């Protein structure tokens, strides 16, 4: 239907906008432009159009403008999707999460403006990125699901059931990986906002001659994230092996696990590049991009497999997500 085609276009545009908002937030943090508009919000230095426009002001105000525009797109997408699929609970949940977390990260971003240099500000900025990531993943999942529903509609009501049901253990594993990834993301955001990117200098994989520096130091903050990331890579590898051995028939799970492993490997390489280049902006943005896509892939797998404590059955697309081909 034409209205659903336009809704899908809006969803794709909103997904791209959400990514742009995430990326611009990383640029603000990396360039130290968080105070580019002083302590005023939502305007810049109390003005709609600031008289003085140094680069840090341009970066910070551009981020605010883009975030406001993306917030409006998410609101429009959520309301439209709810109206188009009134009876679909998953559409409602994903739409609510997209909207709730973009509002929450916006409010938290506003609060960080009034903080001065303190651990409270560092923690708030880390939370700000985490909430933006959830909003981005929710928008991406809503977009994917709308395309799935549209494909089902265009198939004249043909239902698609799942084959090769998975165990509760593998579903708990997927959800556990998503939660742990979110924790690792916070350790990375803490590294960025505590300015600990070069806490170990150019040393890799160790931090100079020490394995466990004090976690109250910049080196310790950096190594905390490094060890958490290594653990995540090993967990994703083990998950991939388990899927290959037991769930080859589940194409969505197999492809998703391979993609997740490839992405987390590239993410590790981008982390090394960030260290070896002295924390250059482009390396940091690549690092942010890959982890955002990786988290979205894990979130997609969570959506495909459903809640871990609910037993799978051969349900149709009207109640479960279809397998992508």
pLDDT attached to residue 206? 77
Sequential pLDDT tens for the chain (325 residues): 556 889 999 999 999 999 999 999 888 888 878 778 877 777 787 778 887 788 888 998 898 899 999 999 999 999 999 999 988 999 999 999 999 999 998 888 777 776 655 555 566 667 778 888 999 999 999 999 999 888 766 654 444 445 567 888 999 999 999 999 999 998 888 888 778 888 888 888 778 777 778 777 888 889 999 999 999 999 999 999 999 999 988 988 999 999 999 999 999 999 899 888 887 888 888 999 999 999 999 999 999 998 887 765 443 333 344 444 3
Known catalytic membership, residue 60: yes
The DSSP annotation for 229-294 comes to HHHHHHHHHHHHHHHHHH-TT-HHHHHHHHHHHHHHHHHHHHHHHHHHTTS-HHHHHHHHHHHHHH
What are φ and ψ of residue 40, in 5° steps? -95, 150
Q: Which of 261, 193, 199 is nearest to 224 (CA)?
A: 199
pLDDT at position 311, please? 65
Domain segments of the chain as ranges? 1-158, 163-325
Q: Are 222 and 200 in contact (CB under 8 A)?
A: yes
3-state helix, strand, coil in the chain (%, to 5): 70, 0, 30
- Residue 272: HSE in the Cβ half-sphere, 13 Å Cα cutoff: 9
Record the pTM. 0.84
- Residue 191's nearest CA partner among 102, 125, 135 is 125
- Of 291, 307, 320, 29, give the one whose Cα is nearest residue 161: 320
From the list 227, 229, 226, 300, the residue with the least C-alpha distance to 258 is: 300
Contact 225, 187 (CB under 8 A): yes
pLDDT at position 159: 40
CA distance 178 to 183: 9
Which position among 51, 56, 60, 152 bears the catalytic label?
60
What is the structure's pLDDT at 242?
94
Helices (H) and strands (E) in the chain, counts: 8, 0
Q: Residue 40 gets which letter from DSSP? A: -
Per-residue confidence (pLDDT) for residue 117, from 0 to 100: 53
């Amino acid at each position: 239907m034409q209205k659903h085609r336009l809704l899908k276009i809006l969803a794709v545009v909103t997904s791209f906008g959400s990514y742009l908002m995430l990326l611009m937030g990383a640029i603000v943090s990396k360039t130290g432009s968080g105070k580019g508009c002083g302590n005023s919000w939502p305007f810049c230095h109390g003005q709609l159009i600031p008289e003085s426009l140094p680069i840090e002001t341009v970066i910070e105000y551009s981020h605010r403008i883009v975030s406001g525009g993306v917030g409006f797109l998410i609101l429009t997408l959520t309301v439209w999707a709810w109206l188009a699929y009134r009876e679909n609970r998953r559409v409602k949940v994903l739409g609510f999460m997209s909207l709730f977390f973009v509002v929450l990260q916006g409010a938290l971003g506003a609060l960080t403006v009034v903080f001065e240099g303190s651990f409270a500000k560092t923690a708030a900025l880390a939370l700000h990125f985490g909430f933006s990531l959830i909003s981005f993943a929710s928008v991406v999942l809503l977009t994917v699901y709308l395309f799935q529903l549209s494909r089902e509609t265009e198939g004249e009501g043909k239902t698609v059931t799942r084959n090769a049901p998975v165990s509760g253990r593998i579903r708990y594993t997927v959800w556990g990986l998503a939660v742990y990834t979110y924790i690792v993301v916070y350790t990375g955001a803490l590294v960025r906002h505590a300015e600990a990117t070069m806490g170990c200098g150019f040393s890799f994989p160790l931090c100079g001659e020490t394995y466990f520096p004090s976690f109250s130091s910049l080196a310790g903050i950096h190594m905390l994230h490094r060890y958490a990331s290594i653990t995540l890579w090993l967990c994703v590898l083990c998950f991939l092996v388990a899927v290959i051995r037991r769930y080859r028939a589940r194409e969505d799970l197999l492809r998703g696990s391979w993609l997740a492993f490839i992405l987390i490997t590239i993410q590790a390489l981008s982390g090394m590049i960030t260290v070896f280049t002295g924390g250059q902006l482009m390396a940091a943005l690549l690092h942010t991009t890959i982890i955002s896509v990786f988290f979205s892939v894990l979130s997609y797998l969570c959506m495909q497999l459903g809640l871990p404590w609910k037993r799978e059955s051969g349900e149709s697309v009207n109640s479960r997500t279809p397998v992508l081909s």
